[in-house]
Amino acid sequence: MRYLSTRGHADRKQFCEILLEGLAPDGGLYLPESYPKLDAAALTHLRDVWQSQGYAALAFEVLSLYIDDIPRDDLQALCRKTYTQEVFGTKEIVPLKPLQAAGQAQPDLYLEALSNGPTLAFKDMAMQLLGNLFEYELARRGEELNILGATSGDTGSAAEYAMRGKKGVRVFMTSPHGRMSPFQQAQMFSLLDENIHNIAIDGVFDDCQDIVKAVSNDLAFKRRYKIGTVNSINWARLLAQVVYYFAGYFQATQNNDQKVSFTVPSGNFGNVCAGHVARMMGLPIDRLVVATNENDVLDEFFRTGIYRVRGTADTHETSSPSMDISKASNFERFVFDLLERDGAQTKAIFGEGLSREGFFDLSGDARFAKAAAVYGFDSGRSTHADRLQTIQQVFATYGVMIDTHTADGVKVAKEHLNAQVPMIVLETALPIKFASTIVEALGRQPDRPAQFEGIESLPKRVQVMKADVEQIKAFITQHCD
């Protein structure tokens, strides 16, 4: 298996090379040269593996289709080490929860529980594996890695909990100053491990993301300081997320003749892009529904064909803050496929074109119709009022408490229900991470896992800085030299 850049760079690389690299040399994102195709027999085999051996074995089977430069026994051991009941709280790892009212014959829809990991967010599903993969490969090479990341809330804590104490790894995590929930801030800033560095940027998430890309595009600095990424621009992280689409499908169906749809709360497009990959492999997915909050750049594209990034002033601060993103860095992977893998055109619109114009328009391109017709994408938008109403309705009807981002997903999913096709909403976080909105909606505090009691009052370590690339480079240099 070889990987190529979405922007047409001539290099073809193996998995472990791009694991540690992040962006391609031309600023593009890595994708496999082709997606492995699963026939009926292969799907049946994966269903049998899921049913008889569980999530870790399923992860190994899926990952091994893309990773051929780690010995199979080692990859299997890494999957078993990562996906355990002790870490994720349940034997199933990602149990499916039906939203079914009393007396109903069938559920209205399902929640796939992805938030049982150490930081109570779906990012743990990939980040726990990424931490083990990094440690394994760095030990194999005798090297170190400095991870530079950007977070709007959940990626940061998931990365830091996965990397804390890992040999050969330092983490420099940027986040928008004052724009995460108090619980999210406490999760990150209370980690005092020597290899963890938190940087709060005066700005919004997109400013943090731009800094990460700018540093990654400085090839001399990147090579000297061994800069890697854990954001969803890292293919390994997105690949790990592909697995839970298979697990959700196998739980919702009895055989491989059935289809399911998924609704995915999304800001950076990584979570739903993993569903796109699963669908390209042959998983019987009917629709992939993208749910946004008021920062609706993705919904606008799927409705109109126009992708229009917003500046800091036009990026709304919402009650689903992990989706307060107006420049979806992972979207380039899907558009590359949509444009029939034309690297030159992808480079033209995502490189200088997007920087210069601030938007691109595919509405007149015949290939845009494929977004819905061939690739199965739909979309919808949710507001704060929608979130409150959905949280109230789900709790009153089903007795289930959901967080704000999952509420965005449920609201949009209900607009795209098909009685013949089960709808699965990817749960993104536990309600405790956004307690103030839960209190506003339900008049009560969400349950808090015992290990997080009093976390907001713990000592914190964080550096507040301007959105300045050179300052970030200087900070990294100071802590590496």
* Residues recognised as catalytic: 123
For 123, residues 6+ apart whose C-beta sits below 8 A from its C-beta are: 154, 155, 157, 158, 159
Quick check: 402 and 394 in contact, CB under 8 A? Answer: yes
Torsion (CA) 252, 425, 329, 16 in degrees, nearest 10: -30
**Residue 140 corresponds to which tokens in the numbers above?**
């194999």
Q: Residue 257 corresponds to which amino acid?
A: D
Q: How many CB atoms lie within 10 A of CB 397?
A: 14
| Helices assigned H by DSSP within 164-269 | 182-189, 205-217, 219-224, 235-252
The partner residues of 31 in beta bridges, in order of sequence, read: 4
Q: How many CB atoms lie within 10 A of CB 102?
A: 7
Q: How far apart are CA 303 and CA 324, in angstroms?
A: 19
Q: How far apart are CA 303 and CA 305, in angstroms?
A: 6
Site of tokens 């507001």: 383
**Residue 115 corresponds to which tokens in the numbers above?**
């938030």
| Helices assigned H by DSSP within 83-123 | 85-88
Quick check: 44 and 52 in contact, CB under 8 A? Answer: no
Q: Phi/psi of residue 270, each to 5°?
A: -70, -45
- SS3 state of residue 423: strand
Quick check: 147 and 163 in contact, CB under 8 A? Answer: yes
Chain-centroid distance, C-alpha 74: 25
Q: Phi/psi of residue 119, each to 5°?
A: -110, 10
